[in-house]
Amino acid sequence: MNRSGPVKLLGLIAGIALLNIAVLSPGLLGLEITGGSAFETASGVTLLIVSLLVVLYGSYTLLFKAPAAPSVRHLENQEDYIASLSKYRNVKALKKDVLLALDQLERIGKKKSTLLQVLGERFEPAELSYRKFLSVITGVEKLFYLNLRGILSKLSIFDASEFTLFTNRQKPKSFSDALVHRKTGLYNEYFAHVTGYLGANEEILLKLDQLLLEISLLDSTDYTAIEEMPCMKELSALIGQTKLYQN
């Protein structure tokens, strides 16, 4: 359901109610449904029917119709990624991976919030140490979402109906064994890419947990000591490799 739908629906209903009051109230336009001319009666009835239809359609659109997910290139925030992933959660072949990706999205949000809270308790935002940590956390978060983009790119070209056609064992044998073998290999490669991205993001989540532990055990606030922390080194190297790959 669209989260802002109920508020928008109330606004729609209020607007339609005000319109009907303005048109039908004797003190305003004073259109009469009964007792007036045939034209007034027809116009009044039409207004009420159209109002009802607008409310019904608005209710469906705002409360039940899934919002259109933006294209992968135009994803901007966590809500965009959730909407894009949710399009595939009812596809049987993809459901397990999609649910894991949605779970990972929720977890990285919580971990980032916890890390920022801990950093705020140990350092001042103006300190170099704070900025060092924040830079790494922000960089690895970007890498996480880059992996999600990779997943969504693969999901966008996946043909669930064709996959079912070639994997349904109860279907009469219509294709040669060689063709089925090649098609199966292609789909396995496809799923391997998706699984790889999910595994990479799970590794990022684990490293963020390790970073949180290392911060909690940190004795020194010297930024040089911070740069030598094992997890900081690993995350910095991971971010650096990704930048080289992108370039």
* Complete DSSP assignment for 140-208: HHHHHHHHHHHHHHHHHT--HHHHHHHH-TTS---S-HHHHHHHHHHHHHHHHHHHHHHHHHHHHHHHH
Is residue 226 within 8 Å of residue 232, measured between CB atoms? yes
Which band of pLDDT confidence, cut at 50, 70 and 90, is reported for residue 147?
A: very high
Is a pLDDT exceeding 80 seen at residue 88? yes
Are 187 and 87 contained in the same domain? yes
Is a pLDDT exceeding 70 seen at residue 233? yes
Are 112 and 183 contained in the same domain? yes
Are 15 and 137 contained in the same domain? no
Are 125 and 238 contained in the same domain? yes
Mean pLDDT of 232-246: 74
Are 34 and 87 contained in the same domain? no
Residues near 176 by beta carbon (within 8 Å), at least 6 away in sequence? none
- Per-residue model confidence as pLDDT tens digits over 184-201: 777 778 888 889 999 999
Are 86 and 9 contained in the same domain? no
Are 236 and 119 contained in the same domain? yes
Mean pLDDT of 124-129: 88
Mean pLDDT of 34-62: 72
State residue 98's pLDDT score: 92
Is a pLDDT exceeding 50 seen at residue 25? yes
Q: Which domain holds residue 48?
A: 5-64
- Among the listed residues 136, 127, 138, 137, the one whose alpha carbon sits nearest the alpha carbon of residue 222: 127
64, 80, 109 - which closes a domain: 64
Mean pLDDT of 93-103: 91
13, 42, 64 - which closes a domain: 64
Are 116 and 163 contained in the same domain? yes
Is 156 or 85 the better-scoring residue by pLDDT?
85
64, 90, 110 - which closes a domain: 64
Mean pLDDT of 52-65: 73
* DSSP 8-state class, residue 66: P
* DSSP 8-state class, residue 69: P
Is 234 or 62 the better-scoring residue by pLDDT?
234
- Among the listed residues 100, 199, 146, the one whose alpha carbon sits nearest the alpha carbon of residue 207: 199
Angle at which helix 177-216 crosses helix 95-122, to 10 degrees, equals 20
Q: Among 15-29, 72-86, 197-211, name the one with the lowest average pLDDT.
A: 15-29
Are 60 and 83 contained in the same domain? no
Are 39 and 58 contained in the same domain? yes
Are 47 and 110 contained in the same domain? no
Are 59 and 165 contained in the same domain? no
Which band of pLDDT confidence, cut at 50, 70 and 90, is reported for residue 163?
A: low
State residue 208's pLDDT score: 94
Is a pLDDT exceeding 50 seen at residue 112? yes
Average predicted confidence (pLDDT) for the chain: 78
Tokens 């900025």 locate to: 131
Q: Among 69-78, 82-91, 117-126, 159-168, name the one with the lowest average pLDDT.
A: 159-168
Count: domains in the chain: 2
Is a pLDDT exceeding 50 seen at residue 61? yes
Is a pLDDT exceeding 90 seen at residue 154? no
What is the rounded distance in angstroms from the CA atom of residue 215 to the CA atom of residue 130? 11
